[in-house]
A and B are shown apart, each in its own frame.
Chain A
Amino acid sequence: MASQIFHRGPTKPQMNITPLIDVVFLLIIFFMLVNNIISEQSVQMIVPQLDEPTTRQLLDDQGRIIVNIAPAEFANKERLDNPLLFDGEARFIRVGLQTFASDDLGGVTAALLEARSAFPDAEVVLRSDGALYYGVVQPVMGAITRAGIDTINLAAYMPERGAATVLIGE
């Protein structure tokens, strides 16, 4: 068929957009997958909102292992207005993409050891809902310690953009 066309005189010039479509498809697939992975790794929760926070942005080029301590499910919107009024018990713990029961601290330690052996430089981020009791969070910090990790990053809301954070006693 194609050869028939070529045999019959000049044709209208047409841009070959096949490579363009290839690239665009790749980008779409990439963003769909990345979106899924990010939302899988970040359980829905309200991280602590600090008074005059000193939080910093974790750099993207450092790998990160996210430890989520999931709160009770978000049943209604009221939770967003009064996050601390709600149950302080953990629903489950998620390390990376692995989910553990809230009392399976041995599993958390094992998963972290495994993740650290694969990515030795990765930073550990502890995401915990602000409403959870310290009695729930502290054992998880203990489990992280037992995996040989001595520095942890606590997730909290960033200050609003433009608002300067001034350290006291400057």
Chain B
Amino acid sequence: MTQQQSQSGPVDTSAANRVGGLADQTVHHRSASRRRGRPKPSMQPNLSAMIDVIFLLLIYFVTTANFTPDEGVLTAKLPQGTGKTTESLSPPQRPLNIVLSPAGEVACRISIQGYPQSPTDFTELAALLVQLQYDPDRGLRSGAFKPDSPVVIKPEAGVRWQHVANAFNAAVRARYTNINFAQVSG
């Protein structure tokens, strides 16, 4: 193939010189430079400009690749089956029910079923949940609920998800391990 090209090259040049036209101009140019003994120009296209642009694009996409960086997750257990919210182990444990009901459009009221205290925010809720916990390993003897007692978050339908997630987070902070969500009530 190369040999064929090298042989046909000069023939083509002379033919182009004779005929003239666009091909003739380029060929003529090359032969002129050859005559003057200058280093023949490279036939490779200059790619630096393209590489510049490509690198810019690359850097742009690398830096804007947003893998949802500021979001984390809270791992929660879901009730297996449909209607059930707590696992019926033997003996059944008394669940700790955190009740959330809407207060106006945005806020929510927090209470724990069977206890008079009503925390005003979720930091207070977490502190109260610690008080209600019985865990001698951590010096907690005041409460009635073990860390693995079922905790059920019972929001009404109109409570914003933010508050539900916050209540869940409070229970996780208080080191409860068996936290469930109740079916919609009210």
Contacts and interface: CB of A to CB of B under 8 A. Distances in A.
Interface of A: 1-5, 7-8, 11-12, 14, 17, 20-21, 24-25, 27-28, 31-32, 34-35, 38-39, 42, 47-58, 60, 83-85, 88, 125, 127-139, 141-142, 144-146, 149-159, 167-170
Contacts of A133: 157-161
Interface of B: 2-3, 5-6, 9, 34, 39-40, 42-44, 47, 50-51, 54-55, 57-58, 61-62, 64-68, 70-82, 100, 105-106, 121-123, 126-127, 129-130, 133, 135, 138, 140, 155-162, 164-166, 168-170, 172-175, 181, 183-184
A35 B72 contact: no
Contacts, number: 217
A131 B62 CA distance: 32
A31 B65 contact: yes
Contacts of B172: 54
B61 A35 contact: yes
A56 B74 CA distance: 7
Contacts of A21: 47, 50-51, 54
21 contacts: A8-B34, A12-B42, A35-B66, A47-B71, A48-B165, A51-B170, A55-B72, A56-B74, A58-B72, A58-B73, A84-B106, A84-B160, A127-B71, A130-B162, A133-B157, A133-B160, A133-B161, A138-B184, A167-B175, A169-B175, A170-B138
